[in-house]
Amino acid sequence: MTQGETAKPVAPPAPAPAPAPAEPGEIGIEDFAKVVLKTGRVTAASPHPNADKLLVLTVQVGAETRTICAGIREFVKPEDLLDKDIVIVANLKPRKMRGIDSQGMMLAVSDGAEVVPLTAMKRVNSGLRVS
């Protein structure tokens, strides 16, 4: 450094990105066979009255009507799900989510910035087993 120059502040190094969560180990086909994936048609969708991140979906799964809470409120408008054929986990134990019993789980993909529900490419019957 020459006379009259001042030292430039050095920026601290950027924090290292958080490591990605570890993927679960491999499972056998007998474990996968326990999961029942089915198609369901969304007949109603609305914001959950007691949760900022949840939508409450009414889903027709064959002859059965189910309520499913999905944590997609900030990414998907309720009206965009109406009459869509989605994929759900049909044999998940019901779980109370902020006072509402959720009777399944809607499948979706996320890249971290966006969440996209898994839907059928064309109109299908509700209640079909996904294979």
Q: What is the pLDDT of residues 31-74, one digit of tens each?
A: 989 999 999 999 999 999 999 999 999 999 999 999 999 999 99
pLDDT in tens, 90-129: 999 999 999 999 999 999 999 888 999 999 999 999 999 9
Q: Enter the tokens of residue 111.
A: 């890249």
Q: What pLDDT is attached to residue 4?
A: 61
Q: Is 68 helix (H, G, I), strand (E, B) or coil?
A: strand
State residue 76's pLDDT score.
94
Q: CB count, 10 Å around CB of 9?
A: 6
pLDDT of residue 91: 96
Residue 59: how many CB atoms within 10 A of its CB? Answer: 28
What domains can you pick out in the chain, each with its CATH number?
Answer: 30-117 (2.40.50.140)
Indicate if the pLDDT at residue 80 is higher than 70.
Answer: yes
What does the alpha-carbon distance between residue 77 and residue 9 come to, in Å, rounded to a whole number? Answer: 47
Task: Using alpha carbons, select from 36, 41, 68 the residue that is nearest to residue 55.
Answer: 68
Q: pTM for this one?
A: 0.79
- For residue 13, is pLDDT > 80? no
Summarised one tens digit per residue, pLDDT across range 64-78 is: 999 999 999 999 999
The two most distant CA atoms of the chain are separated, in Å, by 85
Q: d(Cα 83, Cα 3) in Å, to the nearest integer?
A: 74
